[in-house]
Structure 1
Amino acid sequence: MREDGRLDPATAAFLAHRSLLFTVAYEMLGSAADAEDVLQETWLRWADVDLDTVRDQRAYLVRITTRQALIRLRTLRRRKETYIGPWLPEPLLTAPDVAEDVELADSLSMAMLLVLETLTPTERAVFVLREVFDLGYDEIAEAVDKTSTAVRQVAHRARAHVAARRPRDVVSPAETRAALEAFQRAVETGDLQSLLDILAPDVVALSDGGGVKQAMPRPIVGADKVVRVFAVGLAMVGTEMSLEPAHVNGYPALIMRLNGEIDGVVAVRVEDSLVTGLYYVRNPEKLSRVERETAVSR
C-alpha cells in the first residue's frame, strides 16, 4: 500500500481478480485449502513481476495460478492414495446468485468435480480453462507449457471424457431443490418408502469422513442398499439431527447438524428428478467453508 493509502498496482490487480483465481485453483484441485495455498504462491510470484511487461494482467495471473495448481495437483494426488475411504471435494457455501450462471454452477458442482477427478492433471487444467473460463488455446498453451496444437488435442480428449461421464443435461437448481426437499422430508420423518421413491434405482452414495468421522468405507450402489444404510444411521442419530437448506458449490444442498453443530454437507446429483448421486462430506477438515460464503467467479 502506498503512503497515500491507495493500493499499489500489483496488489490492486491481484485483488481485482482474486475470486477468479481462487475459482480456477479450486476447480483444478477440489480443495479450498489447497486453492488458498496456490493463491499465496501466485501472489509471491506476481509481486516480483514488472507490470510494464504485462499486456493482459488477467491472463498473466491465470497462467501463474494454473502452473502452481498443476504442481499442487500432483502433490494432492499422492496424498489421496493414502486417504481413508472415498475422497470428496471440499464443499463451499456459495451465494444463491451463483446458480444464475449455469455454466459456473455446473462446473462447481460435486458431480462435475468428481468427473474432473478422472482426468489427468493437464487434461483437467485445459478443460477448466477452456470450457469454464473460455480462455483461448494460445493462452492455455502458455499456462500448461504445451503448443496450441497439443492443447487442442488435449481439450478434445478431455471433452469426450467428461461428456461420457457427466449427466446428460445440466439440471436446474429448481429441479435439484425439489429433489432435495423430498429427500429432506423423507429423512426427517423417517419415511423410508418416500426416500426410496426419490432415489434412482442405480443411485451411488459416497461419504467422506477422512478417517476422522465415521463414513461408508466404499461407495454404496443401489437404492435399496442406500435406504438400508440411512435407516441404520437415522436409528443411531435419534432426534438431535437437523437438516438446513443451503447453496453449496452453486447448487442447493443440505447442511446436517447434530446437537446444533455442523456434522456434514449433503449434496446430490439429479437426473430426471431422481437422485442418482448422493455425496455426504463429514471430514471436519473440509467443513470450514460452509460457515461463510466463498466468492467465486469466472
Structure 2
Amino acid sequence: MSILRKGTKKYELVKKSRESALAAVQIFNNPNITFKSEAFSVLIIISWTYLLHAYYEDKNIDYRYYKKPNQRKIFDRTKHGAYKHWELERCLDNTNSPIDRESALNLKFLIGLRHEIEHQMTSRIDDSLSARYQACCLNYNYYICKFFGKEFGIEKHLSFSLQFSSISEEQKDLLSEFEDLPSNIKSYVTRFDDSVSDEDFGSPKYAYRILFVPKTVNKRGQADKVIEFLKPDDPLAAKVNTEYQLIKETEKVKYRPSKIKEIMNNAGFTGFSIHHHTKLWQSLDTKNNSKGYGVKIEQQWYWYERWLEVVKQHCRDNANIYQ
C-alpha cells in the first residue's frame, strides 16, 4: 500500500479519481436525472483511468504513448502539446495491470457500452444493466483501498437509495429482460456476454446481482433495516437460490437454426432439416416476440432453450418421418 503526499501528481490523480466515482454514483442515484447510464459510464471510466494512472505512477511504470524508431523514445502528444496517456483499456491490457480478470471484464463491458451510447441517444437501459454498475463500484472501492489505504474508500459515503415503488413479489420473466432495450445496446450486451465464460459471467465482480425477497415479519427491538443480507451458506439463502433457479432462464443460451438441426441429427433424427425447422416455426408463429421463444439480434433470429424443447417433442412425435 502506497503513502500519498498532498500536492503530488499521484495524490491529485487519486483525489480526482475518487471524486469522479462519487459523482458517478450520486448522479445515478438522483431521481431527478434520467441521463443515468450515460453519465455513470463516462465518469466511472474516468475514475478507473485515473486510479490506474496513479498506480502506475506509484510503480514508476511509464503510461505515456510513445514510438521508438531509433532506440530513443518519441512521445505521442495531443495537438496542443500534452502527452498522450494510456486510456483505461490499455491500462487493463498491460502486463503489469493489478486488476483481476473478472473486474477487468466488467470494465471492458462498460467501455464498450460507453462507445455505443456516446454516439446516439439511448433509453431504458438503467435497470437492465444496474448489476454491472454495482459490481463496478464495489470493485473500485476494493482497489482504491488496496492501493492507497482505507481512508480513500467511498463506502461510507454511499447507501441504498430509497424507492417510491415497491419490488414486485413475482419474478420478472427473464426471457423479456432485454426486450425493451435499444437494438444496438441489446446486440452489444448479447455479443459481449456470449464471449464471456460461464464462470466469469457468474462472478459478482462481473455483475453484482441481489435477489430481494419481502420480509413479512418484523420483530420489535431489532434494527429496522430495509435490506438484510444472508451469507451464501445460510439455509434460507440456499432455499431462495434454489427456487430462483427454477424460474430463471439464462439470457446466455441461444441457438441458430443450424445448431438446432445439428442437435436433432445427433439425437438420431437424421432426417430433420433446416427446411423442416422453418416449416415448424412458421406453422406455430414462434417468431412472435410475445411468445418468448427467441430474440432478433442484428437482423438474425436466435432461439431460446424452450424452443429447442418444442423441436425435440415435435421430432419425437414424428419419429417415423425423421429417423
Q: Which has the larger helix fraction?
A: 1
Question: Does TM, normalized by the shorter one, top 0.5?
Answer: no
Greater relative contact order structure (CA < 8 Å, 6+ sep): 1
TM-score normalised over the length of structure 2? 0.24
TM-score normalised over the length of structure 1? 0.25
